[in-house]
Amino acid sequence: MVGQHHRLFDTESPHLETKFRGHTKPELDARSIHRKRSFQCLRHPVSPIDCSPNHTRGWSSALKYAPTRHSYRQVVNQYRKELSVDLYELTMSQVFWRRGMDSSATFSLFFRGYPKDRAYYIASGIDDALDFLEDFHFSADEIRAIRNVTPLSDEFVDFLTDFSFSGTVRAVPEGSIVFAAEPLIEVTGTLIETQIVETMLLNIVTTASLLATKAARIVQAADGRPVVDFGSRRTHGEDAAIEAARASYISGFAGTSNVKAAALHGIPAYGTMAHSFIQAFDNEVTAFAPYADEFPETTTFLVDTYDTLDGVRNAIRVAEQARSRGTNVNAIRLDSGDLAELARAARALMDEAGFPQIRIMASGGLDEHSISQLVASCAPIDAFGVGTRFGTSADAPYIDSVYKLVEIDGRPVIKLSTSKVTKPWAKQVFRRFEDGMMRGDVITRSTS
C-alpha cells in the first residue's frame, strides 16, 4: 500500500498556492491543447490555415473524454491477445460469415523492404506466433467485450464463441536469416480464420524480428565481445522488454538485466550497480566495498558517478581489499564520457596496480555504430551493455511488415496499389551457398 499520494501540480493543497505570488499551478490536461489553443511551442509549427469553409465535414464527435480509468493490473490479466484484434478483422469476417464464404485462403507474412542500413533480417517470434495460432479462441470474457464495443451482430458473435483456428501454417525456423519479400509465415485456412489472426500475428513477428535483427547487428559489431541487454526501462512496454531479452539472446547476446526474461527463457541474468547506489553512501570506497563483500567474483563497479578515473582508483583500492580476502573483482563499468579514452586510461591504471584480470564494460547510449567504432579503435573494452538504442531499435524502430492474401481457392491473388504491388501464390524459398557463404535465394511458387 502506498502511504500517501500527493500530486505535484496539485490544485487541492492551497497552502502551496500562496507561497509563490504571481505563479499559479497548472490545471491543464492534455486535451486542453486542443480546446484552449493556448499552447504554441511545437517546434514543427502548424501554419495558419485558410481553407474553403466546407473542407472539413462533421465526424463523430470526440476529443472530449479521457479514457475510463481501468486498473493497470487488469490490462494484463483480464483479456488475452486474441482480443487485441483490429476491429476490421471482425467486421470483414462477419461479411464472409453472412455470405457463407468459406474459401480456402493463403496469407503470406513478409517484410517489404529494408530500413536504413539493413540488408537482412533475423526472423523471430515465429514460435510465439505458432503458439498464438494453436490456442486461438475467444474466452467468455472476451466475447462479452466484443459484444459491448463492436457493431457485430449477435449471431456472428455467437459464431465467434465457438471459433478456433484450425488452418495450416508453414514458417521459417525461429532465428533464420531472411530477406525482404520472402515469406516468414504462410497461413492457409478459411477466409475468416486466416483474416482474423492478422493483427497479432504481424505484431508478434514484427516486434521480435525487429529486435533480433538489431541485436544481430550489435553482436556482429562487438566482434566477439559479449553484449548484455540493459534495455528494459525504455522499451515500449514490458512485452517489448521481455522480447528484447529473448530475441537478442537468440541473436547472440550474452544475457539480460531483466529477471523475468531470465526466468521465463533461461537466459543468464546480469547486473552491475546504479549511480544512486554510489550516492547512497558517503563515498565510492564505502559504496564499492560492501557490494564486493556481498557478491564476490561477480562484482562490476560503476566508476563514473563523480570522476571516472578517481572512480577507477577507488575500484582498485577495493579490489586490493578483496584480494587480501582471497576474492576477486570482476569488472568496472564506464557509462559516460569518451569511452575509448577512459577505457585506455582505466586499463593502464588497473594493469599497473596488478589487476590485468579486471575487465572493462562500456555502456551509455551504445548501438552497433558506436560499438563498431570503439572496436575499430582497439579500445580495451571487454564487454558492452546496450539499452535504449537497442531496446527500441532506435535508428529503425519499425519494419514494413505485411500479411497479404496471395492465393484463394487455388487461384493467385495480387494487389496493384501504387508502389505496394504484391506477388501471388503460396511460396517456397531456396537458398544457395558457395564456400559457406550465402549466394542467393530463389523464391518460387510452393508446390507442397
DSSP for residue 173: P
Shortest spacing between CB 273 and a copy of itself, in angstroms: 6
Angstrom distance (rounded) from CA 357 to CA 421? 57
Pick left, alpha or beta for residue 14 (phi over 0 → left; psi -120 to 50 → alpha; otherwise beta).
alpha
Pull the grid cell for residue 9.
501540480
Cα(379)–Cα(370) distance, rounded to whole angstroms? Answer: 12
* CA nearest neighbour of 380 among 337, 313, 336, 334: 334
CA distances for 319 relative to 299, 325, 351, 433, angstroms: 10, 10, 12, 50
CB environment 110-129: b (16+ within 10 A), e (fewer): bbeebbeebeebbbbbbebb
Please tell me whether residue 323 binds a copy of itself under the rule CB under 8 A. Answer: no
Is residue 9 within 8 A of residue 24, CB to CB? The reply is no
| 256-315: contacts with a copy of itself (CB under 8 A) | 257-277, 279-280, 290-291, 294-295, 298, 304-308
**Contacts with 160 (C-beta within 8 Å, 6 or more apart), sequence order:** 90, 138, 143, 146, 152
Residues within window 120-179 making contact with a copy of itself, judged by CB under 8 A: 120, 122, 124, 127-128, 130-135, 145-146, 148-151, 153, 164-177
* Residue spans of alpha helices (H) in 325-443: 339-352, 368-376, 388-391
State the minimum distance, in angstroms, from the CB of residue 272 to a copy of itself. Answer: 6
Which parts of 233-252 interact with a copy of itself (CB under 8 A)? Answer: 233-243, 246, 249-252
Nearer to a copy of itself, 104 or 317 (CB): 104
- Beta carbon nearer to a copy of itself, 168 or 323: 168
366 part of the interface to a copy of itself, by CB under 8 A: no
CB of 6: closest distance to a copy of itself in angstroms?
4
Q: Shortest gap between Cβ of 346 and a copy of itself (angstroms)?
A: 13
Instruction: Give me the least distance between CB of 315 and a copy of itself, in Å please.
Output: 15
Q: Find the binder of a copy of itself among 196, 214, 226, 316 (CB under 8 A).
A: 226
Smallest distance, Å, CB 324 to a copy of itself? 20
From candidates 14, 140, 155, 337, binder to a copy of itself by CB under 8 A: 337
Q: Which of residues 46-105 bind a copy of itself (CB under 8 A)?
A: 46-47, 49, 51-52, 54-57, 59-60, 62-63, 65-81, 83-92, 94-96, 98-99, 101, 103, 105
- Reduced to 3 states (helix: H, G, I; strand: E, B; else coil), residue 208 is helix
Min. distance of Cβ 326 from a copy of itself in angstroms? 18
- Scanning the structure block, which residue is given the C-alpha cell 529503425? 396
Minimum gap (Å) between residue 196 Cβ and a copy of itself: 11
Task: State the minimum distance, in angstroms, from the CB of residue 138 to a copy of itself.
Answer: 10
Instruction: Scan for cell 536469416, then name that residue.
Output: 177
Interface residue with a copy of itself, options 31, 323, 325, 445 (CB under 8 A): 31
Return the residue of 14, 29, 100, 162 that touches a copy of itself, per CB under 8 A: 29
DSSP codes of every residue in 147-181: HHHS---HHHHHHHHT-B---EEEEPPTT-EE-TT
Which phi-psi region, left, alpha or beta, contains residue 157 (left: φ > 0; alpha: ψ -120 to 50)? alpha
Residues in 170-209 at the binding interface with a copy of itself, rule: CB under 8 A: 170-177, 183-186, 191, 195, 198-200, 202-204, 206-207
Size of the site for a copy of itself (CB under 8 A): 250
* CA–CA separation, 196 and 184 (whole Å): 18
Residue 261 or 316 with smaller CB distance to a copy of itself: 261
